[in-house]
């Protein structure tokens, strides 16, 4: 018998010795066949070719849905019916792709026999993800012995499939892939850029982690202005020749604000129009996310193919809105479109800004949230003096008024996005001396 020449992504080091006596749900959750609560993988799928051979329409539909996910946009996926026997016939005449996904309703020895036949026609280095209906630890061990990369117990969801593929190709994916947060306003002038800049600074300082703030409003961006930096080169240079873009060039283009926060500033010039192709930002985001843990994207209030692609590709989306009717309508439209484009991700997050503006009729935050069915991360009160003074000084709110309600709101938003919940600040409180020295120096 010839073993498959596939790499084992999740080998026999799993603790499965007592799995015979476990129920189906437990076995699935602990042995690669994930239940519907599978978390989103942290890694994007690399540029690979995937061919799937299904026995049932349900698995085929799950695969087709997974192929449309934002994490799979670099993979080329094709789906065929006929199961493992169809795969054996095809690969007798054609080379095998990077990954073969097979579904089989066969049980035990019949499944293993078909798998051995598949091994005879597969090229070295091809990996296999098997989907079956047998919940048996002995059978599972036999699959691992034959080099199958992963086994999922049907039924499976699109997120199950994406998570499994991500694990299988983890070594080829970027192990340092950072999180990206896209901020966009439901309407012009609602303060989305201000919130993006303050949150970027807060993440960098709360967590002492590197953050890149990308100002994507090329003709009118204000990030450099708000941080009191002179723009020499920035995001326009990064997207001008993406073939040359790498981490060295990116580092040259970044404006350093402090030890942890860097900017990709907008040129803010009108000498030429900025008509951008739909995929213009993709290489930039890939290089940046491979080298920094957090990236904040200040997306302009416009609806083009490239802004839509940036939003769809982001790990989290934050919509900033003021509590009026036009903002509510636009926010509803954004949420609806983004939910459809990102069916396996949570809905966009909401920040209500400029709440309580004098003499302006408003929708109450409670009614606004109820209409969108999204609870806001924060409701930030209108305070022209606070934000105006910070902007005029080229500082964020926390630098000019660290104890203000707005500064606390930005800290809460940063915690919610990063998932750290102020862990770094807690450590500082325990140590004590570092923060005390900092306070003495700034007084």
For position 155, what pLDDT does the model report?
92
Check if the beta carbon of residue 261 is closer than 8 Å to that of residue 199. no
Give the tens place of pLDDT for each residue, 181-225. 999 999 999 999 999 999 999 999 999 999 999 999 999 999 999
Q: How far apart are CA 147 and CA 150, in angstroms?
A: 9
Q: How far apart are CA 91 and CA 103, in angstroms?
A: 16
Going 175 to 71 to 164 to 30, the CA torsion angle's sign is positive
CA atoms in the 13 A half-sphere facing the CB of 169: 29
Give the tens place of pLDDT for each residue, 330-384. 999 999 999 999 999 999 999 999 999 999 999 999 999 999 999 999 999 999 9
* Residue spans of beta strands (DSSP E) within 288-436: 294-298, 316-321, 349-355, 378-381
Query: Three-class SS of residue 284?
Result: helix
For position 431, what pLDDT does the model report?
37
Helix count (H) and strand count (E) of the chain?
19, 13
pTM (2 d.p.): 0.78
The larger pLDDT score, comparing residue 216 to residue 290, is at: 216
Enumerate domains of the chain plus CATH numbers.
19-168 (3.40.50.2300), 179-442 (3.40.50.300)
For position 54, what pLDDT does the model report?
95
Q: How far apart are CA 299 and CA 122, in angstroms?
A: 45
């Amino acid at each position: 018998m010839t073993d498959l020449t596939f790499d084992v992504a999740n080998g026999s080091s799993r603790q499965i010795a007592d799995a015979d006596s476990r129920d189906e749900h437990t076995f699935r959750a602990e042995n690669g066949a994930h239940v519907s609560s599978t978390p989103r993988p942290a890694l994007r799928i690399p540029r690979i070719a995937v061919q799937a051979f299904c026995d049932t329409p349900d698995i085929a539909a799950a695969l087709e849905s997974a192929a449309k996910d934002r994490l799979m946009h670099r993979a080329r996926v094709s789906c065929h019916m006929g199961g493992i026997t169809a795969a054996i016939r095809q690969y007798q005449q054609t080379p095998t792709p990077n990954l073969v996904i097979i579904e089989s309703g066969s049980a035990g020895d019949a499944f293993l026999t078909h798998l051995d036949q598949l091994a005879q026609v597969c090229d070295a280095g091809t990996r296999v993800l098997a989907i079956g209906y047998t919940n048996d630890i002995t059978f599972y061990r036999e699959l691992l012995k034959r080099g199958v990369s992963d086994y999922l117990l049907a039924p499976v969801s699109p997120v199950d499939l994406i998570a499994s593929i991500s694990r299988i190709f983890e070594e080829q994916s970027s192990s340092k892939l950072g999180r990206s947060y896209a901020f966009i306003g439901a309407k012009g002038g609602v303060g989305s850029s201000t919130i993006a800049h303050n949150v970027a600074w807060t993440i960098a300082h709360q967590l002492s982690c590197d953050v890149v703030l990308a100002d994507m409003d090329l003709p009118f961006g204000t990030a450099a202005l708000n941080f009191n930096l002179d723009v020499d080169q920035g995001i326009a240079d990064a997207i001008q020749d993406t073939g040359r873009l790498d981490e060295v060039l990116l580092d040259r283009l970044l404006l350093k604000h402090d030890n942890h926060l860097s900017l990709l500033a907008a040129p803010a010039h009108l000498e030429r129009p900025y008509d951008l192709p739909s995929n213009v930002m993709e290489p930039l985001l890939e290089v940046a996310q491979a080298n920094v843990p957090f990236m904040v994207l200040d997306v302009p209030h416009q609806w083009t193919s490239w802004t839509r692609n940036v939003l769809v590709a982001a790990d989290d989306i934050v919509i900033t809105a003021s509590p009026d009717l036009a903002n509510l309508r636009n926010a509803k439209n954004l949420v609806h479109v983004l939910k459809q484009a990102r069916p396996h991700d949570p809905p966009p997050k909401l920040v209500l800004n400029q709440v309580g503006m004098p003499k302006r009729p408003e929708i109450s935050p409670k009614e606004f949230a109820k209409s969108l069915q999204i609870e806001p991360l924060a409701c930030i009160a209108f305070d022209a003096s606070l934000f105006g003074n910070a902007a005029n000084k080229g500082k964020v709110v926390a630098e000019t008024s660290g104890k203000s309600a707005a500064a606390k709101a930005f800290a809460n938003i940063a915690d919610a996005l990063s998932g750290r919940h102020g862990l770094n600040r807690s450590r500082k409180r325990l140590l004590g001396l570092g923060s005390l020295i900092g306070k003495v120096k700034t007084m």
